[in-house]
Amino acid sequence: MTNIGRPAEGQNQWYPFMDRPAPSMVDGFLQNPPVVPVHDFDPLPPAARYVVVGAGIHGLSTAYHLAMELERTGKGAGSDVVLIDKAGPGAGATGLACGCVRNFYMTGPLHAILRASVEVWESDPINLGFQQVGYVSIGEANQTEDYVRLNESQVANGYPSDLYTDADAHRFLKELWPDFKTENCDVVLHEHRSGYAGTHMVMWGLDQKARQWGVQRCYGVAVVGYDLDSSGSVTAVKTTAGEIRCDEVVVGAGAWTPQHWEWLGGPSTLDVHYPDGHVDRGMDVWTYWRLLEGEIFMPPGVDYRTADGKDGPVLHVELMDTPVYGSDGEVIQDYVYTYTRYAAERVGAPGLQGGTIPIRMGPDARTDPYGHLNDDYQADDWFPEYYCRTLGMLFERFENLEPYYKQRRNGGIGAFTPDNVPIFDHLVDNAFVIADSNHGFKMIGVGKLTASMLVHGNKPEELRPFTYGRYAAGDTFGDRNSNCPWV
């Protein structure tokens, strides 16, 4: 164990759960520890029908749903599923995500993925830490058409939302939060089934569900490669604890996906064909972005509640033509892009968590150490003032937040696809990759859909648009009117 010191009093820099293990050192790298205490885990067996790699939101959801479906249908046993993680639940992006669950996407096919996902969140909100407070998104007039389209598609996909424009938008916001400053807020979408989830809570809940359904959970075991036969199929997964032979593999490796992709024989560049006929040649399959996020303690006497005393909905605001000024009167950024949710469970006291548009890095990144442990990828110095100022521009109650910004490490990196939309597809015939392009904490249902495909043989409708083949076939997504890669 490496002694990096316990957090200062009143802070919980590393340890929202005080019995979380201190990071250990493996091969010279600090290992991001699991976000929940892990116990009862299993030794690596020599063979299994299914090996799931990664105990983040996707690996855990897949393993749990797969074990449950095998047991329920009599088509197998929960113990047919082996889940491997080099650390344990939530050691990647899932453990430090903002936890926002929304369906605000310009890419229509994602609406069905989110409907399937919110059904999972709603299936056990207590153990998955889900707070169904809703989601309010605000734009300027240049986004009205997109919001109309979005609203229609959400409603058609069983995900009800309300749309407000101009004076109606202002009235809606004022009724929700009487101190809301509605200037430049021309269009508002209110999603009812959305909300947020405590990232540690969902890891705890999914890990226990996987355990209860008999999944063999092998934590502290790192995958170091895959054995492929002459046709390219996986015959075994190579790990630091030896080989495990298997019939099927599911990879949910988050920011480490490019490494697994390469091991499975996937290319690093490709030609990306768009529906309008244009082609971007030799693009990177994976591009890393780093996230800008932070936390704020609630000032005394201030809360995030609505006028009727409820927990406020998750808030997302993109005002492309509205600059944000610092206390010195200088422009920090020439746009407002901010998202925020109530986050007492995360901040360790009544507080907020949120962020802004991530920063594009390129095809290379140091994934280890990950997240808050990595000195290179923390939120920039300008971010705290920017984030506090955006909230002060929107709420009278938040006009003086800067002294309450929680000084701690924040951020993390993710591997994005060429169109910033997930790939949920077989890379080889028995290796299915869940690559969510770093915005899929909310997509907890992908694991359930993947499990259904593995047990019943048919790829569910919801997953079908997200093939890797879309880039060659001219079905690349990416038609979005937003400066953010994950809208």
Ligand X SMILES: Cc1cc2nc3c(=O)[nH]c(=O)nc-3n(C[C@H](O)[C@H](O)[C@H](O)COP(=O)(O)OP(=O)(O)OC[C@H]3O[C@@H](n4cnc5c(N)ncnc54)[C@H](O)[C@@H]3O)c2cc1C
Indicate the residue among 53 and 136 with the shorter CB distance to ligand X.
53
Instruction: Give Cα 286 to chain centroid, integer Å.
Output: 16
Q: How far is the CB of 17 from ligand X (least distance, A)?
A: 16
Indicate the residue among 60 and 324 with the shorter CB distance to ligand X.
60
Instruction: Give me the helices (H) in 177-229, please.
Output: 199-212
Number of residues located near ligand X, criterion CB under 6 A: 38
Distance CA 322, CA 459 (A): 44
User: Does 98 sit near ligand X (CB under 6 A)?
Assistant: yes
Residue 257 identity (one-letter amino acid): T
The sign of the CA dihedral 29, 33, 39, 41 is negative
With CB under 6 A as the contact rule, the residue among 23, 54, 220, 369 that binds ligand X is: 54
Taking residues 293 to 322 in sequence order and writing x for each that binds ligand X by CB under 6 A, - otherwise, the string is: x-----------------------------
Distance CA 304, CA 170 (A): 18
User: Does 346 sit near ligand X (CB under 6 A)?
Assistant: no
User: Does 97 sit near ligand X (CB under 6 A)?
Assistant: yes
Indicate the residue among 151 and 438 with the shorter CB distance to ligand X.
438
Residues 6+ apart with CB under 8 A from 114: 102, 103, 105, 159, 442, 443, 445
Q: How far is the CB of 411 from ligand X (least distance, A)?
A: 6
Q: How far is the CB of 62 from ligand X (least distance, A)?
A: 9
SS3 assignment, position 401: coil
Tokens of 108: 């229509």
Taking residues 408 to 447 in sequence order and writing x for each that binds ligand X by CB under 6 A, - otherwise, the string is: ---xx-x---------------------x-xxxxx-----
User: Does 91 sit near ligand X (CB under 6 A)?
Assistant: yes
Tokens of 40: 């009862």
β-bridge pairing 29-30 and 279-284: unpaired
Tell me the helix, strand and coil percentages in the chain, rounded to 5.
30, 30, 45
Indicate the residue among 185 and 251 with the shorter CB distance to ligand X.
251
Query: Nearest 5°: phi and psi at 66?
Result: -65, -45
With CB under 6 A as the contact rule, the residue among 36, 44, 82, 87 that binds ligand X is: 87
Angle between helices 199-212 and 57-73 (to 10 degrees): 30
User: Does 255 sit near ligand X (CB under 6 A)?
Assistant: yes
Indicate the residue among 224 and 279 with the shorter CB distance to ligand X.
224
Identify whether the C-beta of residue 419 lies closer than 8 Å to the C-beta of residue 270.
no
Indicate the residue among 48 and 169 with the shorter CB distance to ligand X.
48
Residue 341 identity (one-letter amino acid): R
With CB under 6 A as the contact rule, the residue among 20, 86, 448, 470 that binds ligand X is: 86
With CB under 6 A as the contact rule, the residue among 26, 30, 155, 222 that binds ligand X is: 222
* 165: number of Cβ within 10 Å: 16
Q: Count the helices and strands in the chain (H runs, E runs).
A: 11, 25
Instruction: Give Cα 12 to chain centroid, integer Å.
Output: 22
Instruction: Give me the helices (H) in 6-75, please.
Output: 57-73
Place of tokens 């506090």: 388
User: Does 406 sit near ligand X (CB under 6 A)?
Assistant: no
Identify whether the C-beta of residue 153 lies closer than 8 Å to the C-beta of residue 168.
no
Identify whether the C-beta of residue 227 lies closer than 8 Å to the C-beta of residue 236.
yes
Indicate the residue among 90 and 186 with the shorter CB distance to ligand X.
90
User: Does 373 sit near ligand X (CB under 6 A)?
Assistant: no
Residue 141 identity (one-letter amino acid): A
User: Does 59 sit near ligand X (CB under 6 A)?
Assistant: yes
Burial of 412 (0-12, 13-18, 19+ CB in 10 A): buried
Task: Name the segment binding ligand X (CB under 6 A); options: 18-26, 78-86, 281-289, 458-466.
Answer: 78-86
Identify whether the C-beta of residue 329 lies closer than 8 Å to the C-beta of residue 340.
no
Task: Name the segment binding ligand X (CB under 6 A); options: 84-92, 135-143, 177-185, 205-213.
Answer: 84-92
Indicate the residue among 169 and 444 with the shorter CB distance to ligand X.
444
With CB under 6 A as the contact rule, the residue among 44, 246, 253, 444 that binds ligand X is: 253
Indicate the residue among 97 and 352 with the shorter CB distance to ligand X.
97
SS3 assignment, position 179: coil
Alpha-carbon radius of gyration of the chain: 22
Q: How far is the CB of 120 from ligand X (least distance, A)?
A: 13
With CB under 6 A as the contact rule, the residue among 56, 129, 460, 465 that binds ligand X is: 56
Instruction: Give Cα 124 to chain centroid, integer Å.
Output: 19
Indicate the residue among 172 and 432 with the shorter CB distance to ligand X.
432
Q: Which of residues 110-149 bind ligand X (CB under 6 A)?
A: none
Q: How far is the CB of 291 from ligand X (least distance, A)?
A: 4
Indicate the residue among 100 and 373 with the shorter CB distance to ligand X.
100
Distance CA 57, CA 446 (A): 9
Indicate the residue among 222 and 283 with the shorter CB distance to ligand X.
222
Task: Name the segment binding ligand X (CB under 6 A); options: 11-19, 92-100, 149-157, 474-482.
Answer: 92-100
User: Does 219 sit near ligand X (CB under 6 A)?
Assistant: no
- Using CB under 6 A, list all residues that contact ligand X: 53-59, 84-87, 91-94, 96-100, 222-223, 252-256, 291, 293, 411-412, 414, 436, 438-442
